[in-house]
Structure 1
Amino acid sequence: MPYLKRGGIFVPTAKPYTIGDEVFMLLSLMDEPGKLPIAGSVVWVTPAGAQNNKTQGIGVQFSEDESGQAARHKIETILAGYPAGRQTHTI
């Protein structure tokens, strides 16, 4: 998504959120030994029962701080090894 310049991720969740909510998560990435602490904000909400059976959850844009940019870099590095057509939860 071009308007998410800092990167982001889709988080499947049934918890209620609204656009603009600040969130904090501990993100586990593939075979990485630790968890990445990431702050961000909700930029969209996919509600339960969304069209085309889309998964309920939120789109989170990473913060501008070092943790957000470190997460973006690690995710981009991991995804570089995947085939272009493979679906992921990144934005």
Structure 2
Amino acid sequence: MKRPGGGMKHNMLKLAITDENALYNSYLPFLKQGGLFVPTDKTYHLGDNVFLLLTLMNDSQKTPISGKVVWINPKGAQGNRPPGIGVDFGEMDKEGATRDKI
């Protein structure tokens, strides 16, 4: 398995956003194509490819998202920040479909 960032390893995550406040707290607007913070205890490296199944609020349909890890909050991060990763939609979502749905 290639690492880091070369990405033969694909990691699958699930994220259910249940209300607008949770969406606001998870969305990463500073990324050109958008992105989401995904709470997880798993270990990732910058550049890892991930596959995310996203459920938005009252939508029962899961939205598949491929992206790259661009941010890491490790366990025990300062300020009691939750462990997790920032996933950039970037190259995987050039048309902005995922960002538009969110």
Question: TM-score normalised to the size of structure 2?
Answer: 0.66
- Structure possessing the higher relative contact order (Cα contacts under 8 Å, 6 or more residues apart): 1
Residue in 1 that maps onto 2:58: 31
Residue in 2 that maps onto 1:48: 75
**Alignment pair present for 1:19 and 2:40:** no
Between Structure 1 and Structure 2, the one with more strand by share is 2
Deviation digits for residues 17-60 of structure 1 (CA, Å, limit 9, x no counterpart) = 00000000110000112000100000011000100000100000
2:70–2:88 CA contact under 8 A, matched in 1: yes
2:35–2:89 CA contact under 8 A, matched in 1: yes
61-70 vs 37-46, which moves further: 61-70
How has the CA–CA distance of structure 1 residues 37 and 51 changed in structure 2, closer, same or farther, with 3 Å as cutoff? same
Question: TM-score normalised to the size of structure 1?
Answer: 0.73
Equivalent pairs counted in the alignment come to 74
CA RMSD of aligned residues (A): 1.8
Instruction: Look up the SS of the partner of 2:68 in the other structure.
Output: strand
Distance 2:95 2:63 in 1: 9
Runs of at least 4 residues of structure 1 off by over 6 A? Answer: none
